[in-house]
Amino acid sequence: MESLEGLKQFYQGKKVLITGHTGFKGAWLCAILHYFGAEVSGISLKPNTNPSLYEVGGIDDLVHSYICDIRDLNKMEKVFSEEKPEIVFHLAAQPIVLDSYTDPVYTYETNVMGTVNVLECIRKTPSVKSVVNITTDKVYQNNEWNWGYREIDRLNGYDPYSNSKSCSELVTDSYKKSFLEELGVIVSTARAGNVIGGGDFANFRIIPDCVRAMKEGKEIEVRNPNSTRPYQHVLEPLFAYLMIAKEQYLDKSKAGSYNIGPDETDCITTGDLATIFCEEWGEGAKWHAIDYNAPHEANFLKLDCSKLKSMFGWKPRWNVREAVGKTAEWSKAYFANENVLDTMLKQIKEYLKEEENNV
């Protein structure tokens, strides 16, 4: 797996643009790239949670930030023209399955036409060399199989969020073949499983629900406790994105579509995840299942990540218990009014130190 020194050397001084930089994963990615010495710019809406990791972590001080809707092509083009990025990570999206049922038009506009606009800006920006479009593990037609989905399996997400991300994959492939390959722009897509980590304040996500319950002194309420998902710490896919962008920048044959998920032992039920959270948090934390008349969500979903492992020698570093423990650690530091960015950098360094020890 790529060493700390190799990644730091590569990204130091690089001009990197992130769409969705004010989101949970975007804020963590900004922190990593700032630590690496990259020149980071971001295009995003204002943070959509209150509080938000972007604001409490002071991430705005680390980047050239442009508050812009990715549906606005003209504004996007101006940002790309001004920043002239070499590497682009496209994270901006409407990311919540249940919200996509409430507002499917906005979900498709953002996740499909937003991707078209990002790719159109890339097509018109000669400085761009390497692009990673981040989608989701939910792009696959879910047959409730007991084995993991591979990159060659059919794309056909069920709900508006998942389906719009399937469309984003198809749009990316078309732009790659029609325009970007000829221009020398190298493009990959990354399909990550469910991520957890400090600073996720979103609704309808199990770990944020757990943290909110702890803050309020309540018992955790869990919907769909028997649903199985691949859970991983947010740093796992982020470092995979960074690795993919670097490797394809240096060798275009490394471009492709990649699943990014935990080992099979960390593909667990929501109920088991809540139990681990209670054990890691302590203080008598408990959970119970609730009846929830929600729209369709997949019951069983996991990824086959052998392509990423064989291509790059990648492997996850923190198991699900460690991931939950790091999330609890961050959340307790936040509740204690400790410096959030310091906690983020501490965990980034811990992850990289462990990575170096495993190279």
Percent of the chain residues past pLDDT 70, beyond the cut: 94
Give the model's pLDDT for residue 359: 43
Token pair belonging to 347: 């965990």
**Between 267 and 144, where is the model more confident?**
267
- Residue 293's pLDDT band, with cuts at 50, 70 and 90, is low
Q: Which residue has the higher pLDDT, 314 or 43?
A: 43
CA of 24: how far to CAs of 1, 146, 163, 196, in Å?
25, 30, 22, 10
Residue 1, pLDDT above cutoff 70 = no
The answer to whether the beta carbons of residues 43 and 66 sit under 8 Å apart is yes
266 falls in which pLDDT band (50, 70, 90)?
A: confident
- Strand 267-269 relative to strand 228-233, pairing: antiparallel
**Average pLDDT, integer, range 68-95:** 97
Question: 219 is written with which tokens?
Answer: 């018992």
Q: Report the length, in residues, of the chain.
A: 359
The whole-number pLDDT of residue 229 equals 82
Record the pTM.
0.94
- Indicate the range of 119-133, 169-183, 316-330, 344-358 predicted with least confidence: 344-358
Report the range of poorest mean pLDDT among 3-7, 74-78, 149-153, 273-277: 3-7
What number is the average pLDDT over the span 302-311? 91
Average of pLDDT values for 133-145?
89
Which of 5-14, 91-100, 239-248, 292-301 comes out lowest in average pLDDT? 292-301
Comparing 1-15, 64-78, 198-212, 314-328, the range with the smallest average pLDDT is 1-15
pLDDT tops 60 at residue 191: yes
What confidence score (pLDDT) does residue 247 get? 96
Q: What is the average pLDDT score of the chain?
A: 93
Is residue 130 predicted with pLDDT exceeding 90? yes
Q: What's the whole-number mean pLDDT along residues 284-309?
A: 80
Q: Is the pLDDT of residue 203 over 60?
A: yes
Q: Any alpha helices (H) in 178-234, and if so which ranges? A: 181-183, 206-216
Please give the pLDDT value at position 198.
98
Q: Express each pLDDT in 214-253 by its tens digit.
A: 999 999 999 889 888 889 999 999 999 999 999 999 999 9
Q: Yes or no: say if 33 and 39 are a contact pair by the CB < 8 Å rule.
A: no
Q: Is residue 357's pLDDT more than 60?
A: no
Q: How wide is the angle at C-alpha 238 spanned by C-alphas 335 and 116, nearest 5°?
A: 115
> Which residue, among 158, 117, 115, 152, has the nearest Cα to 139 in the 3D structure?
158
Output 72 or 301, whichever has higher pLDDT: 72
pLDDT at 183: 98
pLDDT tens for 17-40 read 999 999 999 999 999 999 999 999
For residues 92 and 25, the answer to whether their CB atoms sit within 8 Å is: no
